[in-house]
Amino acid sequence: MKSKITTKIILILVVFITAIYLLYPTYKFSSMTDVQKEKMRLDDPQGFMALKSKTINLGLDLQGGMHVILEVDIKELLDKLAKYKNDEFKNALNETEEQVAQTDEDFINVFREKLIEKNVKIERFYANSDRRTESDVVSFLQEQTTEAVTRSLEILRNRVDEFGVSEPIIQKQGDRRIIVELAGITDPNRVRKLIGETALLEFKLLKDNIVSGQVAETINKFITSKISPTDTSVTENGEKKDTSVTALEDMFGVSDSDSSKTTAALSKEDSASGLYEEGLFFLDPRDKQTLLVPVDKKEKFKLILQLPEVQKIISDDAGNSEFYWGAKPVFDDKYYQVYLVAKTVELTGETIVDAYPQPGSQSDPTSIGKYEVSLTLSDDGARIFSRVTGANIGKRLAIILDNKVFLAPSLRVKISDGRARITGLDAMAEAKDLAIVLKAGALPAPVAILGEQTVGPSLGADSIKAGGYSALIGLILVVIFMTLYYKLSGLVADFALITNIVFIMAVMAYFHATLTLPGIAGIILTMGMAVDANVLIYERIREELRRGKTVRSAIDVGYSKAFITILDANVTTFIAGLVLYTYGSGPVQGFALTLMIGIVASMFTAIVVSRVIFDYALSKFSINRLSI
């Protein structure tokens, strides 16, 4: 008998110690200040992620975050799929968009009806050898729409998962909407950019520095030749005014306050003057292959690039090329990079199988202290990349997303195995963002943010306090009631109850589960259920004691007869929780998860832990009267 009790005590101690061990990372992480967390994240990123992966996640309602409603742009998708377009097509598409925005009807059916009203058949724009009839075309468009939403859902899930958000909620709503909930977000702008990215991912070659410099020089000479300060005109009040000022205002939108200075600068003939001296653009001193445009001159330079004469210069001097803007400012956010890129698409994002960030290779002196992204391409992508890299060693390949150059790494060697490295990144966050974009690819259709709700960390902290207070008050009231009603036996039940809560939190930490406000409610409900099991046992023991049975006999009968009732009640509740978890989402799942974990833990503490305490007391002491 004693050996069995000892074995059970050892088992309980092992389980309890294990629970404490599993909960320690959560305690350590939650006790750290924000400054300490940030310092650890920067100094020891691997240790920080390892610690965070062992903690209990907090849901959106407890730590703040974002709730975003997205809608896939079916209009843009239909426009892209059309093989032929005319005014009737465009008008029908616009009318459909307006009507669906108000009625939320099926986009394809409304679009078909709009075309019928114009006496135009939908198959005129989408038919081919495989789909000739109206029904075939409508079915095709419905399939493409469904696929676009499904693919967008998966791409968004991949991007958010790679972003590192704990337990994100990403689910379809209706025919074309997607709900995204991201807990613990500290940089909403970064998230908006990642989940809203819609452009096609492309890889194109940069023109070499000679061509780029020649084009820049020719543009500069063209502008200086077009604007001369010697041309004057007479204003209405008899004053003379340079026509160059008017020309400059017309062409670039320069105000009177800075037009004189700009005109004087543009009138100079040497190659270092003109737009270069004006500061409108100049060659990047780092590589001579990229133009730098001051942030405040960006719009002016855009106007220059749109001039037909400048477009002709680009076409004549650089052939099949075009300018692309860099994705973000450089040099302390003072300048934008402008790249002269070939129009030919060498590779698309569809060929990328995997991409992951990593520290720079220690074997590469240029990568020490830097970060990089490792790429894996599909078989088709590997063949194309082998040809491109082999024929363009020493050149730079621009990674273009949303018509902006994200990065332009150099091709150092021919890459034939479909694996490549993008090196020289300054921060791990930059490498992570690039890997997310490369791996996730492009959305099949634009995704618009219809609604956005941000839950601040302070609101989450208030929820934690409110939930914590309610749980603590509930625990105290239960402890007091059990102690007053069942005396010393009530204290045993109280100890089992506290142990039950420890076990619940430990299991959640082990599975890295997410704790939400409904989850806290589930824990509070579990506390009541755990005490309910002890109440059933104690009332049965009381009945046996009234019948004159000994303390040991009453305890044995009480536990054995109450067990079936407790098991039935908990199994049925567990099944209900399983159904909620399977078919529910978000807060419902959080509630169901803690409820199911609590049921298992309460069965263990009520039947095993409390029973061992009674058995140990009976084996050590001669008890003739039970305090119950």
10 Å CB burial of residue 486 (0-12, 13-18, 19+) is buried
Is 483 in a helix, a strand, or coil?
helix
Structure-token match 């998962």, residue found: 161
Which residue did the predictor score with more confidence, 270 or 370? 370
Task: Give residue 246's pLDDT band: very low, low, confident or very high (50, 70, 90).
Answer: very low
Query: What's the CATH architecture for 2-59+456-620?
Result: Up-down Bundle (1.20)
Q: Which tokens is 133 given?
A: 């009839």
User: How many C-beta atoms surround the C-beta of residue 512 within 10 A?
Assistant: 14
For residues 320 and 348, what is the distance between their CA atoms, to the nearest angstrom?
18
10 Å CB burial of residue 483 (0-12, 13-18, 19+) is middle
Whether 179 shows a pLDDT value over 60: the answer reads yes
Nearest to 408 by CA among 293, 295, 282, 284: 284
What is the rounded (10 degree) CA torsion for 513, 516, 522, 526? 60
What is the rounded (10 degree) CA torsion for 284, 289, 294, 300? 150
Structure-token match 């859902």, residue found: 153
At residue 255, the pLDDT reads: 38
Whether 277 shows a pLDDT value over 80: the answer reads no
Whether 449 shows a pLDDT value over 60: the answer reads yes
Is 359 in a helix, a strand, or coil?
strand
Q: Which tokens is 365 given?
A: 């002196």
At residue 259, the pLDDT reads: 35
> What digits encode the pLDDT tens for the residues 318-333?
778 888 888 778 888 8
Of 63-77, 114-128, 271-285, where does the model show the most confidence? 114-128
Mean pLDDT of the chain: 79
Residues 6+ apart with CB under 8 A from 467: 62, 517, 520, 521
User: Top-level CATH class of 346-442?
Assistant: alpha beta
The domain spans of the chain are 2-59+456-620, 65-198+450-455, 203-342, 346-442
Task: Give residue 260's pLDDT band: very low, low, confident or very high (50, 70, 90).
Answer: very low
For residues 154 and 370, what is the distance between their CA atoms, to the nearest angstrom?
31
CATH tag for 65-198+450-455 (out of 3.30.70.3400, 3.40.50.720, 3.40.50.300, 1.10.3720.10): 3.30.70.3400
Mean predicted confidence (pLDDT) in 8-26: 90
For residues 475 and 473, what is the distance between their CA atoms, to the nearest angstrom?
5
Lowest-confidence region among 248-257, 274-283, 426-435: 248-257
> What digits encode the pLDDT tens for the residues 602-624?
888 888 888 888 888 888 877 77
Provide the percentage of residues in the chain whose pLDDT is more than 70: 83
Whether 252 shows a pLDDT value over 60: the answer reads no
Whole-Å CA distances, 36 to 40, 48, 59? 6, 11, 22
Task: Give residue 452's pLDDT band: very low, low, confident or very high (50, 70, 90).
Answer: confident
**Strands 371-377 and 290-294: what pairing?**
unpaired
**Domains 65-198+450-455 and 346-442 alike in fold:** no
Whole-Å CA distances, 485 to 478, 489, 494, 536? 10, 9, 12, 13
What radius of gyration do the chain's Cα atoms show? 35
For residues 487 and 490, what is the distance between their CA atoms, to the nearest angstrom?
5
Provide the percentage of residues in the chain whose pLDDT is more than 90: 4
* pTM score: 0.50
Whether 155 shows a pLDDT value over 70: the answer reads yes
> What digits encode the pLDDT tens for the residues 532-548?
888 888 888 888 888 88
Q: Please, which residues bridge with residue 293 across strands?
A: 336
10 Å CB burial of residue 572 (0-12, 13-18, 19+) is exposed
> What digits encode the pLDDT tens for the residues 63-99?
777 888 888 888 888 888 888 888 889 899 999 989 9
